[in-house]
Amino acid sequence: MGKRSRKQKNLHRLHGQWPDPHTSAWFEQTLQHNPMAAFITGSIIHHAGRTDVCSVCGDTPAPIYDALDAPYQSLRLCADCLGIREADYDERYQLRSGRT
């Protein structure tokens, strides 16, 4: 059997095994799959001056969510951005238990 690509390997990860959002490991992984999202989130964190903010808008509180339909994604999401991503983009997320 041939080597699997990084994306294929990530498809087999269990939910909750992605790097914690806004860590260096998260940025490394996000840069590979969605460089624009990594840039935007980096700017949001820089402006907020802290890392526990929403990955999309910078609001708090923003607990950690794992995407149920994207094999490489974990995000910090405020309630508004979670609702928008679910309603407008049909994305599904699961709250990461035990960690915020």
pLDDT tens digits for range 3-50:
444 444 444 445 557 899 999 999 999 999 899 999 999 999 999 999
The answer to whether the CB of 84 falls within 8 A of the CB of 73 is no
Residue 64's domain comprises 19-95
Domain presence at residue 51: yes
Q: How many domains, the chain?
A: 1
Domain presence at residue 36: yes
**pTM of the shown model:** 0.80
Domain presence at residue 65: yes
Question: Following DSSP, what letter does each residue of 53-97 receive, concatenated?
Answer: S-TTT--S---EEEESS-TT-EEE--HHHHHHHHHHH---EEEPT
Output the furthest CA–CA distance in the chain (Å, rounded): 47
